[in-house]
Chain A
Amino acid sequence: MTAMVKAEGVHKSFGNVQVLKGIDLEVATGEVFCLIGPSGSGKSTFLRCINHLEKINAGRLYVDGELVGYRQKGQKLYELRDTEVARQRRDIGMVFQRFNLFPHMTALENVTEAPVQVKGESKATARERAGQLLERVGLGDKAKSYPSQLSGGQQQRVAIARALAMEPKLMLFDEPTSALDPELVGDVLDVMRDLAESGMTMIVVTHEMGFAREVGDSLVFMDEGVVVESGHPREVLTDPRHERTKSFLSKVL
């Protein structure tokens, strides 16, 4: 299997605060890769580095063999232009903790927006596929609703459909269920499980240990900007080797 995402010594700091202190990891194609850790451990920041929403300060980050945000010629790195960064992001879907749906568009328009505006798809094709995607996340009847008329769980499922509309090769989930009422979490996780079964490569920052154990192929525990422990979810979650992992898991499980 080839690596979809490869991180080599990724560093990131905000001002004087070092958030990532050298992350090395590999995400294989088709894998469901879960990132867990206490808040402030840098897991969300790392996720945002993968589609260049944050610029890394040191190290290298590759998606599908391509350097993210830069072009390397010999020893020199050149920053990519905005349009080139945008092209890289097309293939990477992202789902946010706070959904970030476009509130002035209906659910359907949210899903068709990027295919039409970015890929130049015809409105008719985009609409047809958006309808199928909304059907797939169980919201076929909500196409004409505005985000404010939907529950949090429904909004998040529209957000997933919106990301899928670009037919990405990689999906990033940034705590997709953290802003949801407990009874709405299940629907979103079901959609994600379904997506994982379809073979999508997914990197999921989550606090849902049940989901990680059941669906995840690999799991990484991060703390204070470094990878503390990684392995198969069931092993790490049931039999953690590091003290830090143990104490974290004892608090959340």
Chain B
Amino acid sequence: MTDLDKKGPQDAPPPAAHPEAIKAIPVRHYGRYVSAVIALAVLAALVWAFAKGDINWGAIPDYFFNDRILRGVRETLILTFVSMAIGIAGGVLLAVMRLSRNPVTSSIAWFYIWFFRGTPVLVQLFVWFNLGFVFDYINLGPVYKDEWSDFMTPFLTALLGLGLNEAAYMAEICRAGLLSVDEGQTEASHALGMSHGKTLRRVIIPQAMRVIVPPTGNEVINMLKTTSLVAAVQYYELLKYAQDIGQTSGATVEVLFLAAAWYLIMTSILSVGQYYLERYYARGSSRALPPTVLQRIKANMLSLSNRPSGGVSA
């Protein structure tokens, strides 16, 4: 190795007092202008087509807060959250079964996931709906006995169809989350004398949540939309009520728009909720928490008003 010629600070050239700010002509991206114009033109054509179409726009506000629509919204939300609860509970159970060292439980979990992920949820819904052709009675021994048709109401059909299917997806999400936590965490907890259960509850799951929450938020939003499928098994939720109103009032397409608007409103609210949940579980993983929506809006406003008036002029 040759001796490097080390420069002390006294050898460095004196820094210029104020280096001149660079004023360069930015590169022009003509392709961007062209694509923007094309996109705008297509959008305008679409808007024009719908405006010219025979749509009774007035029907949408008329029915927006209709009793039946509101009832449908409520049913949709109930169905979403209850089936999601079934899905999460079942998913956690399946994930733990799948990861257990017991070959019987892990194979059963594997089979369950294979079956429910491998068949369309609409088919599953129809199967639940039509099980009455196979069973006349439900008989749980001394606990419960009833005629099948009284037992399997449309609500239960919808819940079982959506919830059990969701459990298979949640199981994979939970499993990925649990596996994502470093093995060293388990070792450290065990070395401190913590039991398996405590380790799971206090150390592994809180960290797995960071991996589990974002996809679960997606699942909730997906579930909200998937609930519309249960209209096919005669369960009255938002879509089914909307279709009913459409048939009686003749505003078929308009009420579908209306339903779509309600779905959009609900999914948007859920997205905001998901953002805050993710923020909560990001504790400790990044040095600073991501800003809340309000903080972000504030920051944006400040940066707008503080934007230097001079800057680089094109």
Contacts and interface: CB of A to CB of B under 8 A. Distances in A.
A96 B284 contact: no
Contacts of B193: 86-87, 89-90, 114, 118, 166
Interface in A64-98: 82-83, 86-87, 89-90, 92-94, 96, 98
Contact of A96 (B184, B196, B207): B184
A96 B188 contact: yes
Interface string A117-147: 1100000000000000000000000000011
Contact of A146 (B202, B203, B206, B284): B284
Contact of A118 (B187, B194, B286): B194
A101 B185 CA distance: 7
Given A82-B196, A104-B283, A146-B284, A89 B206 contact: no
Given A104-B207, A117-B198, A117-B202, A53 B190 contact: yes
A51 interface: yes
Main SS at interface, chain B: helix
B212 to A, nearest CB: 13
A233 B242 CA distance: 84
B192 A103 contact: no
Interface string A134-167: 0000000000001111000000000100110010
Contacts of B182: 100
A113 B191 contact: no
B187 A146 contact: no
Contacts of A86: 190, 193-195
Contact of A100 (B187, B198, B283, B287): B187
Given A86-B195, A89-B190, A163-B192, A103 B284 contact: yes
A6 to B, nearest CB: 20
Given A98-B184, A102-B185, A51 B284 contact: no
Interface residues of A, number: 32
Contacts of B102: none
Contacts of A101: 188
A58 interface: no
A113 B202 contact: yes
Contacts of B196: 82
A148 B188 contact: no
A173 to B, nearest CB: 12
Contacts of B303: none
B184 A100 contact: yes
Contact of B187 (A92, A96, A105, A159): A96
Contact of B195 (A53, A82, A146, A147): A82
Given A96-B184, A96-B187, A100-B187, A146 B192 contact: no
Contacts of A166: 192-193
Interface of B: 182, 184-185, 187-188, 190-196, 198, 202-203, 206-207, 283-287
The 9 closest A-B pairs by CB, nearest first: A90-B193, A100-B188, A100-B184, A114-B192, A94-B191, A146-B284, A89-B193, A104-B284, A118-B193
28 contacts: A82-B195, A86-B190, A92-B191, A93-B191, A94-B191, A96-B188, A100-B182, A100-B185, A100-B188, A101-B188, A102-B188, A102-B203, A103-B285, A104-B207, A104-B283, A105-B284, A106-B284, A113-B192, A113-B202, A114-B194, A117-B202, A118-B193, A118-B194, A146-B284, A147-B284, A148-B285, A148-B286, A166-B192
